[in-house]
Amino acid sequence: MNVQVGRWPVFASLRYDISTMAKAELKTRPTEASVDEFLNGVSNEQRRADSFAVLEMMRRLSGEEPRMWGPAIVGFGSAPLKYASGREMDWPRIAFSPRKAALTLYIDNNIENNPLLGRLGKCTTGKSCLLIKKLSDVDTGVLEKMIKASLASPGGHC
């Protein structure tokens, strides 16, 4: 049976079996790449220094060793992440990436509503991430509290 929707015919008899369709491979997964090599390759000197400072802060607070996740994310620990769609994957509990525009921290999947955000200092938020131009723009004590809270929350990860 065919149905006309606007100018386009819709074939009601056409069925898709998504269980047999190819699944996209997740690129952001743990790798064996060197974290130090990656961070030493950051061309912006300030961003590189800030990245090493965040690396040590997250290592100390998480008690985990850093690991590359994909080509550009430094993550600590691992926890299952479940989407509303039901899709599940492993994801770092906390992570960061020295992006060109800003140092991006993945510390709270609800960062926009974090009560400490207003006390942090000069920063912006993206979808589930915190963007900092320079670490000196923020209060690192508040940042540490935010990271600790994320690590303490059940299933807490970025």
How far is Cα 124 from Cα 132, in angstroms, rounded to an integer? 7
Say whether domain 32-152 belongs to CATH 3.90.1150.200. yes
Q: How far, in Å, CA of 137 to CA of 149, rounded? A: 21
Q: What is the pLDDT of residue 17?
A: 44
Top-confidence residue, 128 or 31: 31
SS3 category, 40: helix
pTM for the whole structure: 0.80
pLDDT in tens, 10-34: 444 444 444 444 455 566 789 999 9
Q: What percent of the chain has pLDDT over 90?
A: 63
Q: Is residue 49 very low, low, confident or very high in pLDDT (cuts 50, 70, 90)?
A: very high
Please state the rounded mean pLDDT for residues 50-71: 97
Average pLDDT over the chain reads 84
- Rounded Cα gap, residues 134 and 141, in angstroms: 15
